[in-house]
Structure 1
């Protein structure tokens, strides 16, 4: 990045650094949420949607 940074303005470099910090924060937050268990109501909804999709697929065949 140092070679590229020579051609960028201070504003652009600051924007890139902010984006990198934001990206790191988003990855950290996603990792925390990913480790949490899914509520049963969401799992039930997913099962219901899969069943509906299966019925629709069978009708089309």
Structure 2
């Protein structure tokens, strides 16, 4: 885990879930470490920031 104090750092697993985060990242989002683990990028992003998960028909 990174020990930087001013830059928010998060690590994602291969399936896109949060595997680790430093204190600066947690402070920015107002989360506890245990609450942040296992969340996804979509869980932590405001509505409309990420593209829709809907797959267009072929």
Q: TM-score, normalised by structure 1?
A: 0.23
Say which one has the larger Rg: 1
Whichever structure has more helix as a proportion of its residues is: 1
Whichever structure has more strand as a proportion of its residues is: 2
Higher relative contact order (CA 8 A, sep 6+): 2
